[in-house]
Amino acid sequence: MNAKKYKGIIQKYSRFLPVNSKTPIITLNEGNTPLIYAGYLSRLVGKNSEVYLKYEGLNPTGSFKDRGMTLAISKACEQKATAVICASTGNTSASAAAYAARAGIKCIVLIPSGAIALGKLSQALIHGAKVLAIKGNFDDALNLVKEITKMFPITLVNSLNPYRIQGQKTASFEICDYLGNAPDFQIMPVGNAGNITAYWEGYKEYKTQGLSKRLPVMLGFQAAGAAPIVRGKPINNPETIATAIRIGNPASWKNALLARDESKGLIDLVSDKQILVAYRILAEKEGVFAEPASAASIAGLLKLIKKGYFQRYLTKQQKIRIVCILTGHGLKDPERAIKTIQPPKLMRADFKTIIKEIGY
């Protein structure tokens, strides 16, 4: 086999991961996602600034979850597990179902009934997971799977599983490898808070190893109706159109605060309206289609620009680099895209009418 061929994050970053020669590597060649320069957004921030989009929607199942899932499922197989389970707002279940299928083990997922995007549901189903829609929200589902895994030999693959975080931290390695250093700022959505935990661990580890020279300021954004960290208390009935981050009691709450405070960053909120504006700007001005939860990164960026947050850095005449994490692909939630835009105009199949309509 050609050692240079890309075979996923475990092979690429094995020296940073808890794997050994006996770990069976269950991979779909996840990771290695593009860091895309965003010209329109860079100009909005100002001169001397560069905005990049880490397009995690280009992972095999369409979200960043694959980075953590390749490791969680590989380790589960190493430990001879025969079944895995997760609670999910959609993406974790899609990823768990795919990697479990590849490993030939059973996958059970609990999802909040009626509250996950169509693409994600179709993925969990087609990969053959046992999908149970519960009459409750994500937090209820997570409590249930925690209880179940305490009593039965089923491996939990939510981000409470430490291998998930270990796998996900490879995204910060990729960003540093690409830019030659960590960015000045990183902006990302926060739901269950596993991903902000993972990125921060990754950045710290790379710096300790001498592979980057600085740490970024971590800027996290929650949806206004599901912002327990910002409000300082769990939310019983979280609500947002960004269903991926519709979470009222994040499992990694403390670690999110650690990332925020150690990096001198912030965790703030954006309204659904701001998320939808950002969702469209991203698609219309940058040509990148991300799901609504991912657009929370861009909504956060726009909010900070408006507040003049970056001004004090820009006036120092130094170049600033901002990386926005786009956690999931826009096709995950096609219904939202169609609802957000005017439906196509119905036309007679007539040459002249069409030409007139398109303005020629």
Establish if 297 lies at the interface with ligand F0G (CB under 6 A): no
Question: What is the distance between the alpha carbons of residues 279 and 50, in angstroms, rounded to a whole number?
Answer: 19
Q: Which span (5-13, 193-201, 230-238, 307-315) binds ligand F0G, by CB under 6 A?
A: 193-201
Query: Least Å distance between CB 186 and ligand F0G?
Result: 13
Rg (CA), the chain: 21
Establish if 42 lies at the interface with ligand F0G (CB under 6 A): no
> For the packed helices 91-103 and 65-78, what is the interaxial angle rounded to 10 degrees?
40
Strand 130-134 vs strand 155-156: parallel, antiparallel, or unpaired?
unpaired
Query: Least Å distance between CB 18 and ligand F0G?
Result: 19
User: How far are the Cα atoms of 210, 236, 278, 295 from residue 174, in angstroms, in the given order?
Assistant: 15, 36, 25, 21
Query: Least Å distance between CB 311 and ligand F0G?
Result: 28
Longest dimension (CA), the chain: 69
Select the residue interacting with ligand F0G from 70, 74, 123, 192 (CB under 6 A). Answer: 192
Binding marks (x or -) toward ligand F0G, 72..91, rule CB under 6 A? ----------------xxxx
Question: What is the distance between the alpha carbons of residues 68 and 74, in angstroms, rounded to a whole number?
Answer: 10
Lookup: tokens for 323:
């990386």
Task: For residue 280, give the nearest of 266, 269, 267, 292 by alpha carbon.
Answer: 292
Residue whose pair of structure tokens reads 């609802």 in the numeric block: 339
Task: For residue 319, give the nearest of 51, 82, 13 by alpha carbon.
Answer: 51
Q: Tell me whether residue 49 or residue 159 sits nearer to ligand F0G (CB atom).
A: 159
Q: Tell me whether residue 199 or residue 310 sits nearer to ligand F0G (CB atom).
A: 199
Establish if 63 lies at the interface with ligand F0G (CB under 6 A): yes
Residues 265-294 contacting ligand F0G, CB under 6 A: 291, 293-294
Q: Tell me whether residue 30 or residue 291 sits nearer to ligand F0G (CB atom).
A: 291
Residues 320-349 contacting ligand F0G, CB under 6 A: 327-328
Size of the site for ligand F0G (CB under 6 A): 22
Total residues belonging to the chain: 360
Residue whose pair of structure tokens reads 């169609």 in the numeric block: 338
Establish if 193 lies at the interface with ligand F0G (CB under 6 A): yes
Establish if 244 lies at the interface with ligand F0G (CB under 6 A): yes
Q: Which residues lie near ligand F0G (CB under 6 A)?
A: 63, 65, 88-92, 159, 189-195, 244-245, 291, 293-294, 327-328
